[in-house]
Structure formats: structure tokens, C-alpha cells
Amino acid sequence: MIAALRTFADHLLGRGDATITVPSFDGALKPNQILEKAEIVGQFDAPEDLATDGKALYIADGNTVRRFDGTATTELRRFDRSITALCCLPDGGIAVALEGREVQVFTTPAAPSAAVTFSDPLMNAINALAPGPGKTLVATDGSTARPYRQWVHDLMERGRTGRVLVLDLASGSVRTVASGLRYAFGVCAAGSDLFVSESWRHRVIALSADGSPRTVLEHLPVYPSRLSPASGGFWLTAFAARTQLVEFVLRENAYRRRMMAEIDPEYWIAPKLKSGQSFLEPMQGAHIKTMGVVKPWAPPRSYGLVIRLDAGGVPLYALHSRVDGVNHGVVAAVEMDGSLFAIAKGPGHLLRVRLAMIEQELRA
């Protein structure tokens, strides 16, 4: 009863869970244009994930795995379903998630057939894979209610069915180590722990070996997604920025239900991977331009961001493509040969930023 009264009061006063606030991009997340100015090394129809074995870059593009050797891209393997996650294994193998429901593991990138296949009925929206401790693979399953391509539906339904799964390569078994997550989207081993992105709670958590969670990074102004190792830390991508308008819509249940029932998802008031395509798109009322200057607080519908974390998960700096840019919807980033490669899913770009250039830009 008291809880119900408190919920009502919070909703009325805009407090507690009903607070409609968004953190600012400041400190390590201070905006710049590094991602927007990045070199575009490839243009793909449906890029989704990246992986590297240190020698080449592997790109999940729709149904296809492509190999990028630094100069040219070649098709490596084609599947009958779209790839939703990709990772390279320490023993030289490669793992792919298909349509979020099946994971196939190959002993080499060019092996003719899968060595192990996981098609557990529990799996619904596998969106990230990473090598786990021992002979295991770790996967994040964003939602048990919605397929991967309907991630925005899961957000609007305030989904909390995300899970972290451990796939045992030796036995072929699937074990759930964490559940009830608000869209798990990205995982990476961090010592004996696993760092996991929880998108709808705008945070990164660490799961210990026994599955107990610890918050590493929270109150992010973005929806975090995939993680990958960096020298002495991690790269964390964010596929969209939070806005007060979306936060408001997420708290207005009746409005949201009606919007979902009546409006084309393309024009929902929801985060997008790209924007500016149609006059029907909703805008947030605010000053985008003042005195001829595009102000940094202009609320974006789509955004591009990669955050560099240290080994403890503390942000060091971030690479941005801001509201006036195009390299938005960044869903994957990996480090290889002194460069950071990232996928901007919105425009379908494969981007390359040299780490030396990042240091130079941030020092300037």
C-alpha cells in the first residue's frame, strides 16, 4: 500500500523512478568530433558486429561474414539467416550468432562447417559473444520477449528479460548466469569477472564467477552496447543517446501503448540508429542552433559514441559523432594494429580511427 502511494507520489512530483532526467555529456564524455571525422574504410548494407584475431578484421554484414585485411574486404562465409553477433576465439576459431537464436562455432574462420552448434530454445536475441573462462563462450541475450531486430519494442515495453549465458564448448550445454537484466547487450571478460552492458539501465555491471552483480559504471547518458578489450581497458560502444523526451515517453504508459499500436515504429518517439530521413520524425523541442552555433546540448534522435574505459571501468575519454553528424548508431568497436575500428550501423559505415590521432586530438 505504502509502495503504491509512493509510486503515485513519485509520478505526480517527478521523483524517484518517475524522474525524467538525463546525465550530461561531460568529463570523460565531453563531446568532440573524432568519430565524425574518422576514416570510412567500408560501406555495408547491414553491418552488425566486428571481431578480430589480431591479423584481420571480421565483419558481420547481414547474412555474411567478411574479412578485412587492412586494404580490401572479402566475403568469407554466408549464412541463411542474419548474423547478430560475432567473436574470435583465442584458439583461432570464430563464433557467430544467427538471428539471435543459434550460435555456431567454427575451429577456423574458413572451416567448412561448424564444430559446435548451440540452438537452445532459451536463446532468443543473442546480441554479443565473447570468449569466457576455460573452454566457454559468453553470450548476452537481450530479451526473451522480442527478437533482436525489435530491440526498440523491448525498450518501449520496458523489457527486463535480458540474460547472460555461458556456452560450454566441450559439453555443448547452455547455462544462465544472470537474468532479469534490462536488455543485456555486450559482454567482455575482465579478469575473473565479466563486464556486461545493461542498455535500458544505462550501466555496465560486473558479474563475478558466482553470478553476483556489481555496478561498474552507471548513470550513462547513452544506451551502452558491445564491449571489447583494449590495451589496459575496454572499448564500450553506445548506439544512441538518451533524451528527456524518450525518458518522458517511457514513463507515460498509456501514451506509449497507443503510440506502439497506431504509429509506424520508424516514427516512434524512441532512440534511432540514424535520423534526419523524414519530416515525419519526431523532434525534441529545444535549441539546436543558437546564434548560428550548433549547441552541444541539442538533443539528438540518433548519436554515435565509443567510450574508452580503463581496466576498472572508469571512462577515460570518448569519441563522438554529434547531432549534426552521420556516423550514428555505433554498435561495435575493436582495436587492431594501432587503430580503432567501429561500425556505425546507421549509415552502414566501417570506421577507422588511428589511436595516435585520438591522442593528438584529445591533447590539442
Contact 18, 251 (CB under 8 A): yes
For Cα atoms 182, 186, 191, give the angle at the middle one, nearest 5 degrees: 115
Beta bridge partners of 22: none
- CA proximity to 143, closest of 158, 156, 119, 160: 160
Binding another protein (rule: CB under 8 A), the pick from 119, 208, 212, 290 is 290
Cell of 78: 554466408
Cell of 310: 580503463
Q: Please, what is the minimum distance in Å from the beta carbon of residue 272 to another protein?
A: 22
State which residue, 267 or 297, has the beta carbon closest to another protein. Answer: 297
* DSSP secondary structure letters along 159-218: ---EEEEEEETTT--EEEEEEEES-EEEEEEETTEEEEEEGGGTEEEEE-TT--EEEEE-
Binding another protein (rule: CB under 8 A), the pick from 7, 8, 9, 13 is 13
State which residue, 146 or 203, has the beta carbon closest to another protein. Answer: 203
Interactions with another protein, residue window 320-349 (CB under 8 A): none
Binding another protein (rule: CB under 8 A), the pick from 6, 8, 9, 24 is 24
Interactions with another protein, residue window 201-230 (CB under 8 A): 215, 218-219
Q: Please, what is the minimum distance in Å from the beta carbon of residue 14 to another protein?
A: 3
Question: Cα–chain-centroid distance for residue 359?
Answer: 24
Binding map of another protein across residues 133-172, x = CB under 8 A, - = no contact: ----------------------------------------
Chain position carrying cell 589480431? 54
Give dist(CA 294, CA 95) in Å, integer.
43
14-22 contact pairs (CB < 8 A, 24+): 18/251, 20/244, 20/247, 20/248, 20/251, 21/244, 21/247, 22/221, 22/242, 22/243, 22/244, 22/247
- Range in contact with another protein (rule: CB under 8 A) among 15-23, 40-48, 80-88, 129-137: 15-23
78 makes contact with another protein (CB under 8 A): no
Q: Please, what is the minimum distance in Å from the beta carbon of residue 340 to another protein?
A: 20
Q: Please, what is the minimum distance in Å from the beta carbon of residue 219 to another protein?
A: 5
Tell me how many residues contact another protein (CB under 8 A): 29
State which residue, 31 or 142, has the beta carbon closest to another protein. Answer: 31
Interactions with another protein, residue window 229-268 (CB under 8 A): 244
Q: Please, what is the minimum distance in Å from the beta carbon of residue 148 to another protein?
A: 30
Binding another protein (rule: CB under 8 A), the pick from 297, 324, 338, 360 is 297
62 makes contact with another protein (CB under 8 A): no
Binding another protein (rule: CB under 8 A), the pick from 6, 7, 21, 191 is 21
For Cα atoms 169, 171, 177, give the angle at the middle one, nearest 5 degrees: 75
Contact 155, 165 (CB under 8 A): no
Residues 6 or more apart in contact with residue 81 via CB below 8 angstroms: 63, 98, 99, 102
- CA proximity to 25, closest of 342, 233, 296: 296
- CA proximity to 40, closest of 301, 260, 271, 321: 321
Positive/negative CA dihedral, 274, 276, 278, 283: positive
Chain position carrying cell 561474414? 65
State which residue, 6 or 15, has the beta carbon closest to another protein. Answer: 15
State which residue, 183 or 317, has the beta carbon closest to another protein. Answer: 317
364 makes contact with another protein (CB under 8 A): yes
Binding another protein (rule: CB under 8 A), the pick from 19, 119, 173, 253 is 19
State which residue, 62 or 315, has the beta carbon closest to another protein. Answer: 315
Q: Please, what is the minimum distance in Å from the beta carbon of residue 242 to another protein?
A: 10
Query: Which residues in this chain contact another protein in the complex, by CB under 8 A?
Result: 12-16, 19-24, 26-28, 30, 215, 218-219, 244, 290-291, 293, 295-297, 314, 316, 363-364
